[in-house]
Amino acid sequence: MSITGIRWAGPRALLVELTDLASVLAFHHHLQAEPFPGQLDAVAAAATVLVKFATHPQALAARAVVGDFDVDVLHYEGGREVTIEVVYDGEDLAEVGRLTGLGVDGVITAHTSQVWTAAFGGFAPGFTYLVGEDSSLNVPRRTSPRTAVPPGAVALGGEFSAVYPRQSPGGWQLIGRTSAVLWDLGREQPALIRPGDKVRYVAVAAAETGMAPTVASRTPAIKNPAENDELVNGLAVESPGLQSLLQDLGRPGLGDLGVSASGAADQQSARQANRLVGNEPGAAVVENLLGGLTVRARGDQVLAMAGAAVPLEIRSPDGVALRRPTGSSPFALLDGESLTVGVPSAGLRCYLAVRGGVDVQPVLGSRSTDSMSGVGPLPLAAGSVLPVAPVDGVRPVGHPETSTLRLGSRTADLRVTLGPRDDWFTEEALRTLSGQEWHVTEQSNRIGVRLVPNAGTGESLARSREGELASEGAVAGALQVPPSGNPVLFLADHPVTGGYPVIAVVVPEDLPTAAQLPPGHRVRFIPVDPSTLEPLAPAVPLHHEVPAESGAISEGIPS
């Protein structure tokens, strides 16, 4: 039996542990060909497959049968064969030669003489972890990561090799560079290398490489008015504020490409804003951070604001104050009038919906801006115009509603299910997680909320084991704990895979509150049973093992 463990990763995801990479690829290929009911994504990693579901009952149903799979009888013939031409002149080539004892020429020979298997994606779109046929090039990551690794850099890290598709921070050892385009949205399959593919590196001279490596990940979906003089119906952006992005409900199912689901950080508020103007739930809205947004109507529009509590003011074309609409209620913005969004009195992000929805070109099936992977429309800028789609059929405007914001004035309570890697932490750390308040730092963003204990009296989370965790899939809401012991709460743009252990996962129903946490706000975690979402009784053991027909399968959380 090749499945060795099944762990909950929040109430809507399962982390399936397997014996080896061959089993991972076979099981992952099976899930792609025959997905479970309600399966949103299946993310392969070094020794695990993370399976995400739309609902908790669907995850429960899959959990009941996944242990019955005999991966040994599943067969995966492998993907395509890909050739990567490399100029071996990387900054760390000599150091890798020293670490391996192979010397520079020996490293090049070892890198080009074996076939590399694409194991899993992650980190960035087009970044694929490749595993070789032997361990001759197994080298540690740099002790001090670079702040910027150039696109096309060919690197080694641990047992893996990879090519950086775009400029990004990175701690891998750089041994060369390539002009191959790893990620191109103009291709039918944007990623050059996908899990299961076989890759061969070929050494070439610099003169043979042709054009420099490029990445095509963003499209300027928001047009400048000068380029669209015929555009009448829309919203002209006069001031974007600190950060204003287009968001919808995201692009799930692309984890293998290194693309997170993204979408509105507070989807509950985005849905409410759309509901109020008569849009479908997935229509594109403007997500604004901390106010400062001003838009002017081109044509008569119907708008609604939801999420953070912000003051709104409408002015005439010549700047005279006219009206102060309220949030969570539809209102009109007539041709030439402007709407200004003030600083929130509660919450962090507000959502502006326009009747018809913002009509920009989808990227990989979504109009969302992904700040981590760089996929989707660029952030709003002064002078850009947001085109508005025509309204089809009968779509009534909604009635005023109660705000969806559920942010306490002092402390926000967030429910969590323990695991999947709570067994990497001491019993005291598990008690500390829920036994003290945590503070939100200013370094938080759409990727994650960074938390620290109370200065002087709080404690960080201590691990119970040494070493590194092999990279594995992660979900929104995961509390990943780096060596500092201070957790990071993953939000919409979180990386697809991560190498730090996840002690617990915020339940999806509480993620809208997590997305609204401003710097300085306090957070308290409440452990709950993943089946009922009821608080755990003190007598329930923190680490729980349950038997299975094929042997003990670690749940990683109480059941």
Answer for the pair 341, 202: CB distance below 8 angstroms, yes or no: no
CA angle 154, 160, 166 (to 5 degrees): 40
Answer for the pair 491, 515: CB distance below 8 angstroms, yes or no: yes
Taking the CA atoms of residue 475, residue 481, residue 487 and residue 491 in that order, the dihedral angle to the nearest 10 degrees is -20
pLDDT in tens, 472-483: 999 999 999 998
Answer for the pair 13, 53: CB distance below 8 angstroms, yes or no: yes
Between 186 and 368, name the one with better pLDDT. Answer: 368
Distance CA 163, CA 60 (A): 37
Look at residue 558 and tell me whether its pLDDT is greater than 90. no
CA angle 390, 393, 394 (to 5 degrees): 110
Look at residue 531 and tell me whether its pLDDT is greater than 60. yes
Give the pair of three-digit tokens for residue 43: 């993310």
Average pLDDT on 394-420 reads: 91
Of 233, 239, 177, 228, which Cα lies nearest the Cα of 206? Answer: 177
Distance CA 441, CA 545 (A): 35
Q: Would you state the pLDDT for residue 231?
A: 57
User: 148 vs 71, 168, 174, 256, 471, CA distance in Å?
Assistant: 40, 5, 12, 24, 21
Look at residue 542 and tell me whether its pLDDT is greater than 80. no
Give the pair of three-digit tokens for residue 393: 């059929």
The whole-angstrom distance between residue 88's C-alpha and the CA centroid of its chain comes to 32
Confidence of residue 210 (pLDDT cuts 50, 70, 90): low
User: 513 vs 58, 411, 476, CA distance in Å?
Assistant: 24, 11, 13
Min mean pLDDT across 121-125, 173-177, 519-523 is at 121-125
Confidence of residue 380 (pLDDT cuts 50, 70, 90): very high
User: 53 vs 17, 453, 467, CA distance in Å?
Assistant: 17, 32, 31
Give the pair of three-digit tokens for residue 58: 């669907």
Average pLDDT on 197-203 reads: 95
CATH class, domain 81-208, is: mainly beta
User: 234 vs 226, 333, 519, 524, CA distance in Å?
Assistant: 14, 11, 33, 42
Min mean pLDDT across 49-63, 336-350, 519-533 is at 519-533
Average pLDDT on 407-427 reads: 93
Spell out the domain ranges in the chain.
Answer: 3-73, 81-208, 225-387, 411-554
Q: Would you state the pLDDT for residue 76?
A: 57
Distance CA 121, CA 473 (A): 10
CB-count burial class (<10 Å; 0-12, 13-18, 19+) for 143: exposed
Residue type, 492: A
Q: How many Cβ atoms sit within 10 Å of the Cβ of residue 34?
A: 8
Q: What is the pTM for the complete model shown?
A: 0.87
Look at residue 548 and tell me whether its pLDDT is greater than 60. no
Look at residue 484 and tell me whether its pLDDT is greater than 80. yes
Q: Would you state the pLDDT for residue 12?
A: 96
Look at residue 547 and tell me whether its pLDDT is greater than 50. no
Average pLDDT on 491-514 reads: 94
Q: Would you state the pLDDT for residue 21?
A: 81
Give the pair of three-digit tokens for residue 473: 């899939």
pLDDT in tens, 264-283: 999 999 999 999 999 999 99
Look at residue 164 and tell me whether its pLDDT is greater than 90. yes
Q: How many Cβ atoms sit within 10 Å of the Cβ of residue 442?
A: 9
Average pLDDT on 141-154 reads: 87
Answer for the pair 375, 257: CB distance below 8 angstroms, yes or no: no
Whether 411-554 and 3-73 are alike in CATH topology: the answer is no
Q: Would you state the pLDDT for residue 71?
A: 65
Look at residue 496 and tell me whether its pLDDT is greater than 60. yes
Q: Would you state the pLDDT for residue 312?
A: 98
Give the pair of three-digit tokens for residue 478: 């995961």
Question: Which of 3.30.1360.170, 3.30.1360.40, 1.10.260.40, 3.30.300.210 would CATH assign to domain 3-73?
Answer: 3.30.1360.40
Confidence of residue 372 (pLDDT cuts 50, 70, 90): confident
With a pLDDT cut of 70, the percent of the chain lying above it is 90
Backbone angles phi and psi of 513, in degrees to 5: -65, -40
Look at residue 398 and tell me whether its pLDDT is greater than 60. yes
Tell me what percent of the chain is helix, strand and coil, each rounded to the nearest 5: 15, 35, 50
Average pLDDT on 256-262 reads: 89
Q: Would you state the pLDDT for residue 208?
A: 62
Which H, E and C letters describe 385-398, residue by residue?
A: EEEECCCCCCCCCC
Answer for the pair 461, 425: CB distance below 8 angstroms, yes or no: yes
Which CATH fold topology does 411-554 show?
A: Cyclophilin (2.40.100)
User: Where is 277: in which H helix or E strand?
Assistant: helix 267-277
Give the pair of three-digit tokens for residue 199: 């890759």
Distance CA 521, CA 530 (A): 26
Give the pair of three-digit tokens for residue 512: 């809208």
Answer for the pair 227, 384: CB distance below 8 angstroms, yes or no: no
Residues with Cβ within 8 Å of 12's Cβ and at least 6 positions away in sequence, in order, are: 52, 53, 54, 55, 56, 58, 59, 475, 508
Look at residue 346 and tell me whether its pLDDT is greater than 70. yes
Q: Would you state the pLDDT for residue 78?
A: 62
Mean of the per-residue pLDDT values for the chain?
Answer: 88
Residues with Cβ within 8 Å of 419's Cβ and at least 6 positions away in sequence, in order, are: 7, 8, 9, 502, 503, 504, 505, 555, 556, 557
